């Protein structure tokens, strides 16, 4: 399914080279859609993605039902473990390490994180990081791949169902991602992605329950693979949708990202999104080093203790306080004496 999905997507993209807002008669790519007398958007739906995501979501509901209708308890545990590994691959790996360079990691840690990020199947690191840096640089504009100004659904998953806005591609070209080329782990993941991704996201998670505790193939596929993948996608997407709509803005009231404790709990500490957009280089992606609502920070600290993670970047408390006083919405709570910095 995964390979078909990937091939289908690539084929679809090859068939049509025009970004969603560009009319085929357009002569000047430098002009923006807004300056011309034409509709702002021409949605070009990628039907194969629509079908794949429909299958995943219906299958995930069935997988959820199977947990109560015959799936083994060990399969549930395995599902949660694989989901957690994938989450850490995205948060500690793709996000805090590769996209923001908020800390450095030795190659064994980078290899582990790359494998975890591959099993999360959220595109290879080069693509994930490029989209994410473009999201930070052009937040809340048409050049933001999951522009929250286009509504909950678009920023959640709609952006993966249509071709990208022309501004994403044009302005995105100004974002530097050359550092990724000097990391062989990133380069090799991209080269081997079409093999690695199906193996780590679909084959191994399905095979382990069947082989080690005699789970049925159906239960294993729908619970440990389809349900787990769909759940982790939705938890990730909530950072782009819900954490740009609901919550507080203690550090900058003028941007859409919010601090939202529920999202922080579900997304392994990535819900302190107002803070993160103001200080994206902080390896905690939050003001406080509180592990309860920031499992990713605990993970990075543990690897720092092992000597694998180093140069962990943080933000001086006085800088945070000054910024919150200047641009925040007044909801920041001063808890530095409890947690330390």
| Residue numbers at the binding site for ligand ST9 (CB under 6 A) | 9, 13, 19, 46, 49, 87, 90-91, 95, 121-123, 127, 130-132, 134, 145, 160, 163-164, 168-169, 172-173, 232-233, 235-236, 239-240, 267-268, 270
**Helix 2-15 crosses helix 184-197 at what angle (to 10 degrees)?**
110
**Closest CB to ligand ST9 among residues 89, 328:** 89
Q: How far is the CB of 164 from ligand ST9 (least distance, A)?
A: 3
Beta bridge partners of 162: 45
Residue closer to ligand ST9 (CB basis): 71 or 143: 143
* C-alpha R_g of the chain: 21
Contact 33, 168 (CB under 8 A): no
- Least Cβ distance, residue 64 to ligand ST9 (angstroms): 16
3-state secondary structure of 162: strand
Q: How far is the CB of 99 from ligand ST9 (least distance, A)?
A: 8
CB neighbours (10 Å) of residue 240? 23
Instruction: For the CB of residue 250, give the shortest distance to ligand ST9 in the complex, in Å.
Output: 18
Nearer to ligand ST9, 31 or 174 (CB): 174
Q: In the bound complex, what is the minimum distance in angstroms from residue 70's beta carbon to ligand ST9?
A: 26
Report the residue number, 42 or 163, with the smaller CB distance to ligand ST9.
163
Buried b (16+ CB within 10 A) or exposed e, 197-222: bbbbbbeebbbbbbeeeebbeebbbb
Of the pair 138, 221, the CB lying nearest ligand ST9 is at 138
CA gap 271, 288 in Å, rounded: 12
Q: Give whichever of 210 and 312 is closer to ligand ST9, judged by the CB atom.
A: 312
- Tracing tokens 């062989």 back to the chain, one arrives at 184
Cβ-based nearer residue to ligand ST9, 121 or 251: 121
Measured from the CB atom, the residue of 267 and 324 that comes closer to ligand ST9 is 267
Least distance in angstroms from the C-beta of 134 to ligand ST9: 4
- What residues have CB less than 8 Å from 168, skipping those under 6 apart? 19, 134, 138, 142, 143, 144, 145
Helix crossing, 73-88 with 107-119: angle to 10°? 120
Instruction: Tell me how crowded residue 93 is: count the other CB atoms within 10 A of its CB.
Output: 29
Q: How far is the CB of 46 from ligand ST9 (least distance, A)?
A: 4
Q: How far is the CB of 268 from ligand ST9 (least distance, A)?
A: 5
Cα angle 299-264-89, degrees, rounded to a multiple of 5: 40
Instruction: Return the residue nearest ligand ST9 (CB atom).
Output: 172
CB 98, CB 129: distance < 8 Å: yes
User: Residue 58 CB, nearest distance to ligand ST9 (Å)?
Assistant: 16
User: 12, exposed or middle or buried, with CB in 10 Å at 0-12, 13-18, 19+?
Assistant: middle
Going by C-alpha positions, the residue among 154, 125, 311 that lies closest to residue 244 is 154
| Helix H or strand E segment including 310 | strand 309-310
Number of neighbours of residue 33 by Cβ within 10 angstroms: 20
Closer residue to ligand ST9, CB minimum distance, 169 or 304: 169
């Amino acid at each position: 399914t995964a390979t078909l999905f990937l091939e289908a997507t690539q084929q679809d993209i090859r068939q049509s080279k025009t970004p969603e807002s560009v009319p085929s008669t357009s002569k000047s790519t430098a002009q923006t859609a807004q300056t011309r007398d034409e509709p702002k958007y021409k949605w070009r739906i990628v039907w194969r993605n629509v079908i794949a995501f429909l299958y995943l979501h219906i299958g995930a509901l069935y997988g959820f039902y199977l947990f109560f209708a015959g799936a083994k308890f060990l399969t549930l545990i395995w599902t949660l473990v694989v989901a957690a590994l994938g989450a850490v691959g995205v948060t500690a790996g793709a996000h805090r390490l590769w996209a923001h360079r908020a800390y450095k990691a030795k190659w064994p840690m980078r290899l582990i994180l790359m494998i975890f990020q591959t099993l999360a199947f959220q595109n290879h690191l080069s693509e994930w990081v490029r989209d994410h840096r473009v999201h930070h640089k052009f937040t809340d504009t048409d050049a933001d791949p999951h522009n929250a100004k286009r509504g909950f659904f678009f920023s959640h998953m709609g952006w993966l169902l249509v071709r990208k806005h022309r501004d994403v591609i044009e302005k995105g070209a100004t974002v530097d991602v050359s550092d990724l080329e000097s990391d062989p782990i990133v380069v090799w993941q991209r080269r081997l992605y079409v093999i690695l991704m199906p193996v780590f996201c679909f084959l191994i998670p399905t095979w382990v329950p069947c082989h080690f505790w005699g789970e049925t193939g159906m239960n294993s596929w729908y619970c440990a693979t389809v349900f787990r993948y769909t759940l982790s996608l939705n938890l990730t997407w909530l950072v782009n949708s819900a954490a740009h709509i609901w919550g507080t803005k203690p550090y900058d009231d003028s941007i859409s990202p919010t601090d939202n404790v529920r999202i922080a709990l579900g997304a392994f500490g990535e819900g302190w999104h107002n803070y993160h957009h103001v200080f994206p280089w902080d390896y905690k992606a939050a003001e406080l080093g509180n592990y309860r609502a920031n499992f990713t920070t605990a993970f990075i600290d543990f690897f720092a203790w092992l000597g694998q993670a180093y140069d962990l970047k943080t933000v001086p408390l006085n800088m945070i306080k000054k910024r919150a006083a200047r641009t925040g919405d007044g909801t920041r709570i001063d808890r530095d004496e409890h947690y330390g910095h």
